[in-house]
Amino acid sequence: MQNPIVKYILSNHILLTVLLAGLAFLLLEIKGILLIIFLSYIIMAALNPFVRILRSFKIPKIIAVVLVYAVVIAFIVLLVIPILPFFISQMESLLKAIPAYIDASSQSLGIQVNKTQINSLIAPAASSIGQNALSVTSKVFGSVFSIITLFILSFYMLLDRQRLGKAVPNLLPEEYKEKGILTVHLVEEKLGAWLRGQVVLSLAIGFITWIALTVLNVPYALPLAILAGFLEIIPTLGPIIAAIPAVIVGLAISPIMAATVILTYIGIQLAENNILVPKIMEKAVGLNPVVIIVAILIGANLLGVMGALLSIPFVSAAIIIFRALK
């Protein structure tokens, strides 16, 4: 039997509209907090299988969780942080060289470009990329405090995962609890598979792109490869955006080199879609390209860069929940 308060609210359209509008306003006001919680949940879901493996060796849960996080932090400290200064300096050089590359590319194609306008657009970004690296990172994650909160929250989510997985289903009526627990499990499985798959794909695409561009003797092969790996997290649009600067650099050398670079990026995408994705992302939820683009645009408009990056797992989770409600 339906709760009389709920029944009254549903029957009163004006009150229902006011409550929904208030809820929407509240969610927008705390969107930064919700973003951290969602990202923490994804990290927890991605790391949980590794904790299960350690637990199978009779390792206590707290030690298993600490070991998993120690490996993640060691990876960031030993591999990611050391390469950042070199990557930033290379990107500075690349941005400063882009006007010259565009000029050379336009001459190869026999067209005229406004070099002054291009310089005025790119020069500020090139001169300030190093100084703005920390502020860009802060915009992506919110703040250093948010990053620390992210790790602490995901750590405790992983430590208390079983009880957390039953928290929402326990709010449901008895006849829906089992379905609720199954839905939470499916969401966790899909989100975890998405993050693990994206990390592996990004590393693989970055490495393959670096090898290919190095073999072709394309300048700035490493920063272009890192860019390709990073943008791999954005389906459909990411690889296209990553290919543009590489094609410009190639076109500055010769039209044949530009064509070779284009074919190389197409070849990498074909290999990814037909070999890597089926093997690595088989558990991830597939989405229509139109849905992906719309989700990215909405996510970017609401939450900036992180909104665009997390729009795909959010939509995937929403689809699973929607299917469970049928």
Using CA atoms, how far apart are residues 95 and 89, in angstroms rounded to an integer? 10
CB 312 within 8 A of CB 287: yes
| 194 exposure class (CB count in 10 Å sphere: 0-12, 13-18, 19+) | buried
Q: Which tokens belong to 290?
A: 């139109």
Of 26 and 190, the one with more pLDDT: 190
Task: Tell me the mean pLDDT in the region 253-272.
Answer: 90
pLDDT in tens, 94-151: 777 777 777 666 666 666 655 555 555 555 555 545 555 545 555 545 456 677 888 8
pLDDT in tens, 196-211: 888 888 999 999 999 9
Using CA atoms, how far apart are residues 19 and 8, in angstroms rounded to an integer? 13
Q: Could you state, in order of their start, the residue ranges of all structural domains in the chain?
A: 30-325
Using CA of residue 198, residue 40, residue 314, residue 305, what is the dihedral sign?
negative
* Residues belonging to the chain: 326
Least confident span in 165-174, 247-256, 293-302: 165-174
Using CA atoms, how far apart are residues 33 and 39, in angstroms rounded to an integer? 10
Closest CA to 123 of 97, 104, 90: 97
Using CA atoms, how far apart are residues 312 and 226, in angstroms rounded to an integer? 21
Closest CA to 303 of 294, 293, 291, 311: 311
pLDDT in tens, 273-294: 787 777 666 545 566 677 777 8
The distance from CA 6 to its chain's CA centroid, rounded to whole angstroms, is 38
Q: What is the pLDDT of residue 1?
A: 46
Q: What is the pLDDT of residue 2?
A: 47
User: For 31-35, which contacts have Cβ atoms below 8 Å and span 24 or more sequence positions?
Assistant: 31/302, 31/303, 32/142, 32/146, 35/142, 35/303, 35/306, 35/307, 35/310
Q: What is the pLDDT of residue 213?
A: 95
Helix locations, 142-236, DSSP H: 144-159, 161-167, 174-215, 221-231
Triad 324, 198, 153: Cα angle to 5°:
70
pLDDT in tens, 23-67: 667 766 777 788 888 889 999 999 999 999 999 998 998 999 999
Percent of the chain with pLDDT over 70: 73
With a CB cutoff of 8 Å and minimum separation 6, the contacts of 218 are 224, 246, 249, 250, 253, 257, 261
